[in-house]
Amino acid sequence: MTANTLIPLFALLTSLLASVIIFALPEKGHRLRTSVNLAAAGLKLILVGVMVWGIFHGQSFEFAFTMLPGVQFVLRADALSMLFAGLSAVLWLLTTIYAVGYLEDSPNRSRFFGFFSLCVASTMGIALAGNLFTFFLFYEMLTLSTYPLVLHRGTRQALKAGRNYIIYTLTGGAVLLLAIAWLHGLVGDLPFRPGGHFSGLEPELQGPLTLVFVLLIAGLGVKAALVPLHGWLPQAMVAPAPVSALLHAVAVVKAGAFGIVRVVCEIYGLEAASQMGLLSGLALVSAITIIYGSTRALYQLDLKRRLAFSTISQVSYIILGVSLFGPVGVAGGLVHLVHQGIMKITLFFCAGNYAETLGVHRIDELDGAGRRMPGTSVAFTLGAFGMIGAPPLAGFVTKWTMGTGALAVGMDWVVVVLVVSSLLNAAYFLPILHRIWFAGQQQAWPHERRWGRLETSAWLLWPPLITAVALIVIGLLASMPFSPLSWVNLIVEQEVMQ
């Protein structure tokens, strides 16, 4: 085996081995647990960086072996997988730093960080999976590893949320397995391949493959929170803020959206999916989800629930972009995989800071928070304006690219969806910003903590400040080499549109 063969495996094993070590550590081993977490996250980031550099220079990275007759286990790095793996690696490091500070005085930290590392290993496996069988293994591993994180607080609300989460996701997994087995029976084991496998489709296969497509999207749509399969997500907000950040920005909802991208672009292929009439239905479902999520967000008084419904809306931008069947629109959807992740993790970090420092959970308790916590509030403001689509932030790049792509293929109605969604985004974010910056504090904070001269713990403050700065840099330097948009254009040129 060459080094390039083993690198994808090592990228997976970093967090997998970290979880084993962390589970074995005593609860009091705070420093050692933190060191293992940060070392594993840093090593994963280096390995992903090596693969990104190699792919850019034409190298290949693949680890594979036969698990069952006719079925291979495949880990493969390509431009599309590195988009998701790179996001996961960077945000895992920042979320680990944040979680160390957030859970400083909490019980069961070894259990939390052990499942946290398993969750990241699952996400990396999903990113690197080379076929649907391998993808499914890690997809279900993600379900099982995130379940204890949702339950972490052990309250009645957490238990109820965990029960709903596991019912939704295991049901979605069962549907996905049925679809994969049916597809395997029709055409055998299919690797993810640029352009897909069904160009020049035989007419007698079109009906069964259409039904398989519907089942695949339904199974993946649970984690992607497509309407009406989204019910688990707002309830899961009882989990600690690092878990919410992970669910919304990196792991669960992104895994569902990424799976849909793989199915559309690299199993069916955009051309075949369009000819079969599958993309128009997918575009309609994603557009409904975008408007529905934004509308429901308007009526949420709990800050994290408002952000949860915002996620339901924003993740469907990825799916809508892929449904446009044009290179610019597809690029807009794919780049939102990264942009939404950074914006959303910023917002959840900030929501966690308000809760941990001031005891604030409701929007009507945020009056005057900007003066008490200026760094956190600036980061939240940038994340909110990014979601609205204000230039020059990353969210503007997404919406501009998608709108341009929609007009290029004659789907003018998509621009209307983007405009309405942006107005709704403004309607549910701007009142929060008004309370934070312009409303005077009316009452004492529910539960205030002090960290000396800093507004909050440095472990909690620096991650959202870093991601907020990234939103500006990504927007301003969108056309530069190795920016998310430039990498997505490489994907579109080399893979998706082949």
Q: Which of 133, 211, 128, 123 is nearest to 177 (CA)?
A: 133
CA–CA dist 154, 115 (Å, integer) = 15
CA–CA dist 245, 240 (Å, integer) = 9
Q: Please name the amino acid found at residue 155.
A: T
Q: Please name the amino acid found at residue 454.
A: L
Per residue in 61-95, pLDDT (tens digit) is 889 888 777 788 999 999 899 999 999 889 888 98
pLDDT, mean of residues 239-251: 74
Per residue in 304-353, pLDDT (tens digit) is 889 989 988 988 999 998 888 778 888 888 998 999 889 999 999 999 89
* Confidence bin at 233 (pLDDT 50/70/90): confident
| Residue 204 predicted with pLDDT over 80 | no
The token pair that represents 378 in the structure block: 């600036």
Per residue in 121-170, pLDDT (tens digit) is 999 999 999 999 999 999 999 999 888 888 877 678 778 878 888 899 89
Other beta carbons within 10 Å of 446: 12
Q: Which of 327, 296, 470, 283 is nearest to 386 (CA)?
A: 470
What pLDDT, on the 0 to 100 scale, is given for residue 482?
78
Between 407 and 31, the more confident residue is 407
| Residue 414 predicted with pLDDT over 70 | yes
What are the helix and strand counts (H, E) for the chain? 20, 2
What pTM does this model have? 0.92
CA–CA dist 49, 86 (Å, integer) = 8
SS3 389: coil
Containing structural domain, residue 230: 3-496
CA–CA dist 81, 266 (Å, integer) = 12
| Residue 244 predicted with pLDDT over 80 | no
The answer to whether the beta carbons of residues 210 and 282 sit under 8 Å apart is no
| Structural domains in the chain (count) | 1
What pLDDT, on the 0 to 100 scale, is given for residue 29?
59
Q: Please name the amino acid found at residue 240.
A: P
Per residue in 464-494, pLDDT (tens digit) is 999 999 999 999 998 888 788 888 888 888 6
What pLDDT, on the 0 to 100 scale, is given for residue 171?
93
H or E element that contains 25: none
pLDDT, mean of residues 42-59: 90
Q: What's the DSSP call for residue 199?
A: T
What pLDDT, on the 0 to 100 scale, is given for residue 495?
56
Between 205 and 456, the more confident residue is 456
CA–CA dist 200, 55 (Å, integer) = 29
